[in-house]
Amino acid sequence: MPREQGANFRVGIGYDSHPFARGRALILGGVSIPSELGLDGHSDADAICHALTDAILGAAGLGDIGEMFPDSDPANQNRDSIQMLEAAVKRVSSAGYTVNQVDVCVVTEAPRLTPYRDKIRSKLSVALGIDSARVSVKGKSNEGMGWIGRREGLACIAVATLKGNR
Ligand SMILES: [Zn+2]
């Protein structure tokens, strides 16, 4: 019987959060955004790249970012998270998958991401090896509620779909 079209289609979700800190850079999706407050973390704290890396690995059933890049490894300190994303893409591609499309939602009160959105999409599209039309990035406030509303940090949710090549 012929294989049903789209049968080898996979979906993954990723989530990440980091606290804001003074004297740290704010890097989202590989783009440095001018801001009084940056993000604290072991690597460059790029929440978009981390959530996306997890979404891509998750879609292929290949574990998560913590397994691939353990905090205990000094090599991962201040690591460029775009490189982590690229490594995840390489890993799923060796397992026979191609990234099809991604959708990212950053939940934060500040800064507004709209002016940087296209730059982030373009940077991510290069790392993912897909057209930027297949990369969606959205910013959303938390309406002043909770830890995000108090501007203690930001969160990012990402979804990725992969196509199986075999
Ligand atoms: Zn992170």
**5-14 average pLDDT score:** 85
Q: What's the gap in Å between 52 CA and the centre of ligand 1?
A: 10
Rounded alpha-carbon distances, angstroms, from residue 55 to 37, 50, 145, 151: 26, 9, 26, 25
**6-34 average pLDDT score:** 94
**78-101 average pLDDT score:** 95
pLDDT in tens, 137-147: 999 999 999 99
Q: What's the gap in Å between 107 CA and the centre of ligand 1?
A: 14
Q: What beta strand segments (E) does the chain contain? A: 9-22, 27-28, 31-32, 37-39, 97-107, 135-140, 153-164
pLDDT in tens, 34-62: 999 999 998 899 999 999 999 999 999 99
Provide, rounded to the nearest whole percent, the portion of the chain with pLDDT above 70. Answer: 96
Q: What's the gap in Å between 111 CA and the centre of ligand 1?
A: 18
Q: What's the gap in Å between 10 CA and the centre of ligand 1?
A: 23
CA 73 and chain centroid, separation: 21
